[in-house]
Structure 1
Amino acid sequence: MNLSMIERGQALWRPVEATLRALQAPAQLAARLYVGSVFFRSGLTKLRDWDITLALFQDEYHVPLLPPDVAAVAGTTGELVLPVLLVMGLAGRFAAAGLSVVNVVAAISLTDIAAAALTQHQFWGSLLLALVLWGSGAWSADAWLRRRLSPSA
């Protein structure tokens, strides 16, 4: 393989890489919107009938180390506050990490979780992990604040 073949390969790859780089911000936004909506809707469901929510935390969800009423308040609060932060991309890594905890606790708290439900939790967890690792992206309040507060801007 000679150098010109490598250079041609690199030249062919550059626009692909540029396109992939350009798709990062919309992909991060899509992940934030999708995961945020899942958890926010779950929190709203819990608020609709608080007595049923308390009963579920008493009988179905066995959250380790927390009394059921405390777990219900903490879980519902997390499902309502963290998704808003995540969707805005404000403290995005914090919100994604917090929702990761909510996600893991939800998955392990159900004594009999269906395989399809577990797969959903794993998918949400993978999206949240990506947001923790790579951040909220260029289309986020975090990025806007960085640009705004940067001394070089």
Structure 2
Amino acid sequence: MSNALKPAFCAYRLLIRAGDLLQPLVLVLLRLWIAHVFFSSGLTKIADWDVTLALFTDEYHVPVLPPNVAAIMATCGELGLSSLLVLGLGGRFAAAGLFILNAVAVISYPGLTDATRQFHYFWGAQILVLLAFGPGLLSLDALLKRWLQRRCPNSGSC
């Protein structure tokens, strides 16, 4: 490598290393943000169950499911999956479930404006990042993985 390229190469390596160090923190912040969005929605649903059932009966047209079943599934999904996401426990499973909930919301609610639809697309993109990278090093998934690797160094021995 020429001497002229060494500073650029070193700066590039430093940038990559900084990104690697920041990744766990960014994934935690992303998990917390997405969980907050969905958990808040779940809390709104349980705050007045009669209104929630009315919305699922009259406004939200969830395909295939009866309104009361859709309301229960959506509420449990928003509260349960977002809680798992905060902990990073079953992180990819939780992200997949929230992605499906988000997609169903876009499909089943014709009252979404272009602006609110953009929020759903943005959340969907963030959830896809969590699906692709997992919950990160600062998660119960990572802790369990390290514990299992120490307990069972040869994967076939447990």
Does TM, normalized by the shorter one, top 0.5? Answer: yes
Equivalence for 2:80: 81
In the alignment, the residues of structure 2 paired with residue 147 and residue 5 of structure 1 have an alpha-carbon distance, to the nearest angstrom, of 42
**SS at structure 2 position matched to 1:53:** helix
RMSD between aligned alpha carbons? 1.2
TM-score normalised to structure 1 length: 0.94
Identity %: 47
Equivalence for 2:156: none
Equivalence for 2:39: 40
In the alignment, the residues of structure 1 paired with residue 131 and residue 102 of structure 2 have an alpha-carbon distance, to the nearest angstrom, of 14
Equivalence for 2:54: 55
Structure 1 position 137 matched with structure 2 position 136 = yes
Tell me by how many angstroms 1:106 deviates: 0.7
In the alignment, the residues of structure 2 paired with residue 102 and residue 60 of structure 1 have an alpha-carbon distance, to the nearest angstrom, of 16
Q: Which runs of 4+ in 1 moved over 3 A?
A: 2-8
Q: Deviations over 1:86-124 (max 9, x none)?
A: 010000000000000000001111112111111111111
Tell me by how many angstroms 1:10 deviates: 1.4
Equivalence for 1:94: 93
In the alignment, the residues of structure 2 paired with residue 146 and residue 70 of structure 1 have an alpha-carbon distance, to the nearest angstrom, of 35
In the alignment, the residues of structure 1 paired with residue 79 and residue 42 of structure 2 have an alpha-carbon distance, to the nearest angstrom, of 5
Equivalence for 1:113: 112
In the alignment, the residues of structure 2 paired with residue 3 and residue 101 of structure 1 have an alpha-carbon distance, to the nearest angstrom, of 51
Structure 1 alignment gaps of length 5 or more: none
AA aligned opposite 1:141: L
- Aligned counterparts, 1:9-24, within 5 A: 9-24=8-23
TM-score normalised to structure 2 length: 0.91
**SS at structure 1 position matched to 2:137:** coil
**SS at structure 2 position matched to 1:45:** helix
AA aligned opposite 2:115: A
Structure 2 alignment gaps of length 5 or more: 154-158
Tell me by how many angstroms 1:9 deviates: 2.2
Tell me by how many angstroms 1:7 deviates: 3.7
Equivalence for 2:123: 124
**SS at structure 1 position matched to 2:110:** coil
**SS at structure 2 position matched to 1:146:** helix
**SS at structure 2 position matched to 1:66:** coil
Q: Deviations over 1:58-101 (max 9, x none)?
A: 01000011111110011111011000000100000000000000
